[in-house]
Amino acid sequence: MNHTRKRSPRLRPRRPVRSIPKRQTTSGFRFNFKMRWLVVILIFLPFGSHIASLDAQVRHHFEGERWALPARVYARPLEIYTGMNLSRAALIEELDSLGYRKIEQTLEAGHYSYKGNELQLITRPFHFWDADEASQQIQISLSDNRVAAIRNIVTQQNVALVRIEPRLIGKIYPIDNQDRLLVTLEDIPALLISALLATEDRSFYSHMGISFRGIMRAAVENFKAGEMVQGGSTITQQLVKNFYLTPERKMARKLNEAAMAMLLEFHYTKKQILEAYLNEVNMGQDGDRAIHGMGVGAQFYFNRPIEELKLHEIALLISVVRAPSYYNPRKHPDRTLQRRNMILDLMADQKMITPAQALEAKIQPLGVVDEVQDSIFPYPAFLEVVRRQLREDYREEDLRSEGLQIFTTLDPILQKQAEESMVEGIKRLEKENKQQVKNLEGAMVISNNENGELLAVVNGKKPHYAGFNRPLNATRPIGSLVKAAVYLAALEQPSLYSLTSTLSDTPYEWTDKNTGEKWNPQNYDYRSHGNIPLVKALTYSYNLATVRLGMELGLDKVYNTLKKMGIEREFPIYPSMLLGSISLTPLEVTQMYQTIASGGFRIPVRAIREVLNHDGKPLQRYALSVEQRFDSAAIFLLNYALQQAVRQGTGRIVAQDLPSDMILAGKTGTTNDLRDSWFAGFGSELLTVIWLGRDDNKSMGLSGSSGAMRIWGDFIKSVRPAAEQPLTPTRVRWKWVDNRSGNSSRKGAAGAVLMPYIIDRESSTLAEISDNK
């Protein structure tokens, strides 16, 4: 079957949903009753042409697309269900990363508490691509790092699954590098609005854009306080200054500011102006990223939504508005604390809060997160994969300006475990092989077998640093990883080949007819092993037997098999390709082995689930695309041989430390002079591809089994993914054979093992054989 997604139309350059409608009035002369507007009109009448130009500028910008909004990239939502592998530490880390507060008793959304292995939390409401999730009060019971039970505390009913909002893992910023998260007045605590107006513009609801009375009052208050506690410019003037004008201090600019402020008030409501100000106001700087608006300001300083801010946090945000650099709480905590407490006193004087509330808030610390969680996106390699896939459907300017919500497949818990395995593994290998292994780097790609979702991408021993993206761009020879294609090409012909077919592992020479150059491949141990069963040749990765088999099949046959497995790039057809002279990236190898791990289905590896516009409406769904490329019986036989490779062959040393009940398959890969160490391994849940080597392509002294596979083994032990015996296809039967010769045997005989066969070849024999295993 082949389910392919339909491409949706590209975004239009203008979207009316972000435009603010012009306020409707009951009469064209609504201001006739306000004498001050008549005075203003008479004053500006001589400057009619200039005022008309300013008026057009005000309306065009305010009614069009005011802001270029960054795209927001999310990880997968954490879906918790009974029986899943989940430790308390991993769950708490996930909640902390989302800004949930640990308290003694859960009271509101964004709170959690725990005692022993019982954890209670109140989830936040969230608009997912497929449904709106309401807030729930949940109790999660854990046992032996598994979810034992989930219960809704309110209804006292067991819950099958609870979904927690996804972690923000990246943004794609506009050209001007301004970051903002649009909010409405309804999103913002009423106390924040009241306090903001008290400090910035007390006469906001009565002035017409400028306030001479406000200027005088601010001068008096500032003189009394001995410092700047109130501003003279109205909020409308501040909005105009930030929205339309340059920061230069000239009389002409000030006059334009006053005129435009009044024009803004003439055309739009106070609510529209205040909402625009709250989304435009400068809240600080993070390197070259400008923080604009209260919505992203709350995330920037407190790592939580603005709706969840407490009194002392609200006062801090208002403190920053006056001078974001001067009152930077991370750089100048003392002066910011003093400013915040002054705001709290002002709020008490204005009867917004009680003196007791002000006192309680003043004893609180600033509460700013130590690191700028909103800007530290520790998955640069994965985000580059996301951007590459997005560019297939969206223009770059749309990605940078339309405020898209991009929901990806990244699993932060699995990503962390993969990073730890890679970083610690490289350290250990360098320490154990000091003379040979130096400047070692690596890449790890992990996907889901069933749907091709990319779950983790690790780039070297410093995975949080942006730089050369090895998983995506390191093109290296794949070595013996290619052998899976050679043996699959044979097993697709059950009338000619089975796992016990005899292959010759003897010296081989090929001569290039054009150049006369000779090619003499060797086994890794520089020995030949005579006639051996096909399964043994793959289990122990014998080069000579593989080359002879490949040449017998025909190079075109192997080439076509590689293409069917998912390799899209072109490569030369030479005998050396049978031993992995083909150069691929770790992500391309993942696509190649995805087809094997999924049971013969071509499932594109994907990093994106859904794309919504800024208002939460679906734009693009990255639906699962499935196409059967290989017969399930041939894949089953191949995977049986790859299971033997892990347990008995090239991977047996690492496999000794893995749980015996895990059915795991895989293939090592090693290139000439030990320049590249590869391993691709999978169970019934996860496919993992690992590459180790040096960026300068020099020898690093590790084979696939002594390098990459060891890191894979550590990862599997820490994660314990599902690794169950695959179901036997209907066309496959099991037969007792001798493990050395491949000849028929019987249960209980010395050296007897069960071997799967496709019935097309063995039907006459298998009809008399039971399925007793």
Q: Read off the amino acid at residue 710.
A: R
> Could you give the CA distance from residue 622 to residue 3 in angstroms, rounded to a whole number?
11
Q: Are 693 and 677 a contacting pair, CB within 8 Å?
A: yes
The conformational region for residue 579 under phi > 0 = left, psi -120 to 50 = alpha, else beta, is alpha
CA–CA–CA angle 264, 266, 267 (5° rounding)? 70
What is the C-alpha to C-alpha distance for residues 571 and 597, in angstroms, rounded to an integer?
Answer: 24
- Identify the sign of the CA torsion 205, 208, 209, 215: negative
Segment (H or E) for 458: strand 454-459
480 is catalytic: yes
Q: Is the distance from CB of 456 to CB of 445 less than 8 angstroms?
A: yes
361-366, long-range: CB within 8 Å, 24+ apart, which pairs?
361/310, 361/311, 361/312, 361/315, 362/312, 364/310, 364/312, 366/312, 366/316, 366/329, 366/333, 366/336, 366/337, 366/340
Spatial distance between the Cα atoms of 125 and 137, rounded to a whole number of angstroms: 11
697: left (phi over 0), alpha (psi -120 to 50) or beta: left
Residue 603 token pair: 């499932």
Beta-ladder partners of 459: 443
d(Cα 642, Cα 637) in Å, to the nearest integer? 9
Verify whether residue 200 is a known catalytic residue.
yes
Residue owning tokens 């990765």 = 541
What distance in Å separates the CA atoms of residue 399 and residue 390, rounded to the nearest whole number?
8
Q: What is the largest CA-CA distance in the chain?
A: 111
Q: Which of 319, 401, 447, 480 is catalytic?
A: 480
Distance of alpha carbon 477 from alpha carbon 529, whole angstroms: 26
Count Cβ atoms within 10 A of the Cβ of residue 31 and give its class: 0-12 exposed, 13-18 middle, 19 or more buried: middle
Q: Which of 200, 308, 419, 441 is catalytic?
A: 200
SS3 594: helix
Where in 572-723 does DSSP place strands (E)?
A: 583-584, 601-602, 608-612, 618-621, 627-628, 665-670, 676-682, 686-693
Q: In whole angstroms, what is the distance from residue 133 CA to residue 138 CA? A: 13
DSSP 522-540: --TTS---EEEEHHHHHHT
Q: Is the dihedral of CA 457, 650, 519, 508 positive or negative?
A: negative
**CA torsion angle for 324, 326, 329, 334 (degrees, to 10)?**
-150
Q: How far apart, in whole angstroms, are the C-alpha atoms of residue 553 and residue 659?
A: 37
Distances (CA, A) of 376 to 151, 301, 472, 739, 768: 34, 13, 21, 55, 65
- Nearest by Cα to 186 from 281, 307, 65, 283: 307
Query: What are 82's two structure tokens?
Result: 């009974």
Rounded CA-CA distance 111/135 in Å is 11
Helix axes 251-267, 235-243, angle to 10 degrees: 110
SS (H, E, C) 703-760: CCCCCHHHHHHHHHHHHCCCCCCCCCCCCEEEEEEECCCCCECCCCCCCEEEEEEEHH
Using alpha carbons only, give the angle 721, 724, 725 rounded to the nearest 5 degrees. 155
**Distance separating alpha carbons of residues 574 and 514, to the nearest angstrom:** 13
- Written as six digits, the tokens of 594 are 């995805």
The residues assigned a catalytic role are: 200, 480
